[in-house]
Amino acid sequence: MRVLFILKKRNESWGYTGGGSATSGYPSGLLNSASFVCAMLPQIGIQASLVEVIDNDSIDREVAKAKPDVVIVEALWVVPTKFEVLTKFHPKVKWIVRNHSEIPFLSLEGIGLDWMLQYALYSNVFISCNRNSSNDDFQFLLGEANPKQPDGWAKGKVVYLPNFYPTTVGNHSAKSASGFIDISCFGAIRPLKNVALQAVSALRFADSLGKKLRFHINASRIENQGEPVLKSLRTLFTHFTRHQLIEHSWMPHDQFKVLCSTMDMGLQVSFTETFNIVAADMADENVPIVVSTEIDWAAGECQVSRITSESIEATMQAIWKNKLQIAAMNKRNLTQFGTASRATWRKVLHP
């Protein structure tokens, strides 16, 4: 069994100064996600490789070179009609287009819902989501949109392929007592990421501890009309002389993990998520996190069910008292999620 992951090469730097290369674009969460799975598959007896291409017309060449049994197209960047050509050129290949967004995020792209439903109409082309709830939605939509298809057709066209995260033995070093507390809300700046409310919650929390807040964000990657969010954050912190907004550029994953390890706490109380690698990075570094219930692998103690600044701060207060134990729970949960994910990939690729 040979699997080929194909991604569109990212040309946006997002403030990253390391540069891309002839074979790889700039680092991204999508590339990290696909790389993690690609590196895991040999553990279950599946050969796997990953390539980045500049456009739709480069796919045929890479598939002809790799001769895979399965091609997984990561994210929605291939025009649906391209599969009319690709399936003729490579009739024995199973194609899977893997979506990484819940419908609220996907709808902001405009073409997402339409393209997902179009992909599945081609022979030997399947669609996949990395969360079961999204899979259920697309099974329903595909069945409703194609009532003449036989029973079970839509279910067979939608496969669940979850994220995989390789946990490490890294440990979070307790910081020396100081007048500052470092709290992060890393990741792309997007409206549905809910960064501004989390900043207010962090301000509340820092004040309750009598500490100065350093609120850390990635300010160089802005998507889905996130510009007003960043402006709001910057202007918000101009009203406080005690606290600071710390803006970081995009960086390679290994460097980002080092930055994560220096935080006192990480916030990822998003309105919608499928997995959230940033939260996983924090958990893997044993940094306490506060998340929304959308991040279902996290410990229940870390999840905020009602997204208000008061409830977020209350959860921050609760886990702060038992931060080492709860961080260990998240690390354990993440490892267990990886074990289940590995089994799911094995079942799908080796039925």
Same domain, 147 and 186: no
297 located within any domain: yes
Output the CA–CA distances (angstroms, integers) from residue 335 to 30, 167, 283, 288, 297, in the order listed: 20, 6, 10, 16, 10
Q: Are 170 and 282 in contact (CB under 8 A)?
A: no
Domain count, the chain: 2
Instruction: Please report, for the chain, how many H helices and E strands are present, in that order.
Output: 13, 12
User: Mean pLDDT for the chain?
Assistant: 93
Q: Is residue 346 part of a domain?
A: no
Structure tokens at 32: 């990290």
Residue 314, C-beta contacts closer than 8 angstroms, at least 6 positions apart:
none
Whether 137 maps to a domain, the answer reads: yes
Task: Output the pLDDT for position 108.
Answer: 86
**Whether 211 and 65 share a structural domain:** no
Same-domain check for residues 6 and 153: yes
3-state secondary structure of 215: strand
Closest Cα to residue 272, out of 110, 102, 157?
102
Count of Cβ atoms closer than 10 Å to residue 300 Cβ: 11
Look up residue 171 and give its amino acid.
N
| pLDDT of 13 higher than 70 | no
Give the three-state DSSP class for 172: coil
The CA angle 140-141-145, to the nearest 5 degrees, is 120
Do 120 and 193 lie in one domain? The reply is no
In a domain, 117, yes or no: yes
Q: How confident is the model at residue 22 (pLDDT cuts 50, 70, 90)?
A: very low
- Domain membership flag for residue 350: no
Task: Select from 212, 215, 201 the least CA-distant residue to 315.
Answer: 201
User: Are 24 and 151 found together in one domain?
Assistant: yes
Percent of the chain past pLDDT 90, that is, above it, reads 86
What is the span of the domain harbouring residue 259? Answer: 180-334
DSSP 110: S
Kindly compute the dihedral angle of the four CA atoms of residues 133, 297, 16, 104, in this order, to the nearest 10 degrees: 20
What confidence tens digit (pLDDT) does each residue in 198-254 have? 999 999 999 999 999 999 999 988 988 889 999 999 999 999 999 999 999 999 999
104, two tokens: 């609220």
Q: 220 with 302, same domain?
A: yes
Q: Is 204 found in the same domain as 322?
A: yes
